[in-house]
Amino acid sequence: MTPELQNKLQTLQNFLRKRESVAVAFSGGVDSTFLLKVAHDVLDEKAIAITAHSEFFTEREMQETEAFCTKEKIRQIFYPFKALHIEGVAANPKNRCYLCKRHLFFQIQKIAAENSFHTLCEGSNVDDLQDFRPGLKAIEELRIESPLREAKLSKMEIRELSKELGLSTWNKPSFACLASRFVYGERITERRLKMISSTEQFLFQLGFKQFRVRVHGNDGNELARIEVLPEDFEKLFQHKAAILRECKQAGFAYVSLDLEGFRSGSMNVGK
């Protein structure tokens, strides 16, 4: 670990220590896992995890959060969160993430306070400031703490520190919420979310690590646009028949491969 990275870790530890107790909004991703681990190392039982159990996240991801908290002996609170019931979210406007996170973090703040944890932290990093992230506005409005940004940690640095701490998530692929698979303005429904979730789970079981299944088209006539890393194109074609069959069974009318390959935030093109 370089001296600079060591200093950033110490900055993060000191930031958390001064809060005395924190609740971490925990999704199980690289960032929130690292944040929760450091918070628990510093504060022990004065650090807890709050996880939203939502239709926007897969059951596999929920199970991974529970397994991590059990292993690390961290108290975890699950919050049933119906994102599609929030006014405006299902219509999927460009500020959908703001609408969703404003409601989500408001409720998580209440849960934290009810359990005598008056500081709520979330896991955005400095790289997130370079992307189209309307949800960050909600975090600022609600005065949610962002310790990783305060410590000026990038995604790559968080992965490096996660490896140093022995976290299996150090090389975990990024998986944004399932709502990010939709073109802005195209309606999000539970049926479509299940189509995406089941198809992505199939790709995961085939051994693909970094991928997305984006959805396009009218209800009942959807196209699945599959993004995988360019080096995985050959592997995808080896499993073409099985993937096509799975997509059709899930409800997709058409299936395509994005020749640009996987890229985070591809639905933000032309936003």
Q: Which residue has the tokens 């370079």?
A: 130
Residue 171, domain member (yes or no): no
Residue 266, domain member (yes or no): no
Kindly give the parts of the chain with pLDDT less than 70.
Answer: 131, 265-271
Residues 201 and 78 in one domain: no
Residues 147 and 252 in one domain: no
CATH no. for residue 237? 3.30.300
Q: Which of 135, 165, 195 is the last residue of a domain?
A: 165
* pLDDT tens, residue by residue, 171-192: 998 888 999 999 999 999 999 9
Residues 143 and 91 in one domain: yes
pLDDT at 84: 95
Residues 49 and 143 in one domain: yes
The single residue of 69, 100, 177, 247 carrying the catalytic annotation is 177
pLDDT at 267: 56
pLDDT at 118: 87
Q: Which of 109, 143, 165 is the last residue of a domain?
A: 165
pLDDT at 266: 56
Residues 143 and 79 in one domain: yes
In the numeric block, which tokens belong to residue 199? Answer: 């198809």
Residues 81 and 132 in one domain: yes
Residue 18, domain member (yes or no): yes
Residues 21 and 153 in one domain: yes
Q: Report how far residue 111's alpha carbon sits from residue 66's, in angstroms, rounded to the nearest whole number.
A: 18
Q: How far apart are the first and last CA of the chain?
A: 39
Q: Which of 165, 193, 215 is the last residue of a domain?
A: 165
CATH no. for residue 60? 3.40.50.620
pLDDT at 110: 96
Residue 66, domain member (yes or no): yes
Please, what is the Cα angle at 151 between 111 and 2, to 5 degrees?
135
Residues 159 and 195 in one domain: no
Active site residue 177: yes
Q: What's the whole-model pTM score?
A: 0.90
Percent of the chain with pLDDT over 70: 97
Residue 172, domain member (yes or no): no
pLDDT at 88: 95
Structural domain range at position 24? 3-165
Residue 143, domain member (yes or no): yes
Residues 114 and 149 in one domain: yes
Residues 19 and 137 in one domain: yes
pLDDT at 12: 97
Q: Report how far residue 144's alpha carbon sits from residue 163's, in angstroms, rounded to the nearest whole number.
A: 27
Evaluate whether 186 touches 89 at the Cβ level (below 8 Å): no
Residue 267, domain member (yes or no): no
How many structural domains comprise the chain?
Answer: 2
pLDDT at 128: 84
pLDDT at 268: 55
Residue 20, domain member (yes or no): yes
Residues 21 and 70 in one domain: yes
Residues 16 and 135 in one domain: yes
> Which of these, 186, 194, 195, lies nearest to 267 by C-alpha position?
186
